[in-house]
Amino acid sequence: SGKQEPTRPTMRQQEDRALLPTTAAAGPDAAAASGPSGRLRTAGLVAAWYASNIGVLLLNKYLLSVYGFRYPVFLTACHMSASALLSSVFAAATTSSSASRRPLSRGQAARVAVLGAVFCGSVVAGNVSLRYLPVSFNQAVGATTPFFTALIAYAVAGRREARATYAALLPVVAGVVIATGGEPSFHLFGFIMCVGATAGRALKTVLQGILLSSEEEKLNSMDLLRYMAPVAVVLLVPATLTMEPDALGAAAALAREDPSFVWLLLGNSSLAYLVNLTNFLVTKHTSPLTLQVLGNAKGAVAVVVSILIFKNPVTVMGMLGYGVTIAGVVLYGEAKKRSK
């Protein structure tokens, strides 16, 4: 026929793509953002991404620690319910062809269910950790995601990185060790939950690269959320009834005593969805390198804002440790780029 068959990506290339923050590719939209209107739109999306991401983090901390609503599993169920509803609305509003809305195959559904369970567990663990740890320390531990991603990729998929890449992970871990020693509000259970949440996010990334590796099975991040969120709700409803049987009664009582609680809960749940939506849109309109830089800066902004709002005590050693971790993450990204 004279047509050249497209080259199928190798498993290594598929996994590398899956290690990006979302499965949306930065392509023509990123190039279109070079004009004045495009730059303005991108700046607005980045601002919305920062606001929603930092906002949901601070609201989670406020509800679970300051306000006194100590039900992280129930709160996560609210987040996932909102994500399931709003992602379906988004898909209906933006998808025109029936082919692109075809249901998942049985194999796809099983793989998405596994990813949904891992995703659900990591979010619950992250919310539990916010009950016990300040946001600043939570973000420092969360910055070690590349370390767990490399570790799990080797353990699960046998994937090896270059020596320089592994060397760059040393300051990532060393920074958290330093920050832990200098954290005046350290709580062992909260720390374990935070590490578990970070490892869970890394595990989801690796499994996503393995389970949804073929071109036919790949899903962008919003479609994946649309399928994972209902799975998470199905898991979280019985978990809430078992682990937090009085959560619904407590929520109803708080709603009667303070009507603003309802708006806090609704706003918090909606923000949880907007985090994923804005992340997806920012990824479409920027390059992976820009996204990585923005992600590192976002963590630092979240730390500063949380300290200003909650006034949690910080030490020079704690901030030094966080700085070392972020430097390690930057080095890791550079080493990954050079190894390719």
Is 170 a member of any domain? yes
Of residues 71 and 38, more confidence is placed in 71
Closest CA to 247 of 122, 124, 115: 124
Distance CA 129, CA 75 (A): 13
Number of structural domains, the chain?
Answer: 1
Higher pLDDT, 91 or 76: 76
Summarised one tens digit per residue, pLDDT across range 36-69 is 777 888 899 999 999 999 999 999 999 999 999 9
- The answer to whether residue 183 sits within a structural domain is yes
- Domain assignment present for 36: no
Res. 147: pLDDT tops 90: yes
Contacts 24+ apart (CB under 8 A), 155-158: 156/203, 156/206, 156/207, 156/210, 157/11, 157/15, 157/206, 157/209, 157/210
Residue 142 lies inside a defined structural domain of this protein:
yes
pLDDT band with cut points at 50, 70 and 90 for residue 217: confident
Domain that holds residue 117: 50-59+71-92+102-339
pLDDT of residue 101: 59
Q: What tokens were used for 252?
A: 């109803």
Name the more confident of 278 and 99. 278
DSSP state of 212: T
The whole-number pLDDT of residue 99 equals 47
d(CA 60, CA 101): 33
Residues 6+ apart with CB under 8 A from 338: 162, 164
Nearest to 143 by CA among 57, 56, 223, 201: 201
Lowest mean pLDDT among 52-56, 154-158, 219-223: 219-223
- Among 121, 304, 279, 298, CA closest to 198: 121
Residue 95, pLDDT score: 73
- Buried b / exposed e over 172-192, threshold 16 CB at 10 Å, is beebbebbbebbeebbeebbe
Distance CA 43, CA 49 (A): 10
Report if residue 97 sits inside a domain: no
Where does the pLDDT of residue 237 fall: very low under 50, low under 70, confident under 90, or very high at 90 and above?
A: very high
Cα separations in angstroms, 58 against 94, 218, 271, 297, 326: 30, 33, 11, 17, 20
Dump strand ranges (E) for the chain: none
pLDDT above 90 covers what percent of the chain? 62
Q: Quote the pTM value.
A: 0.84
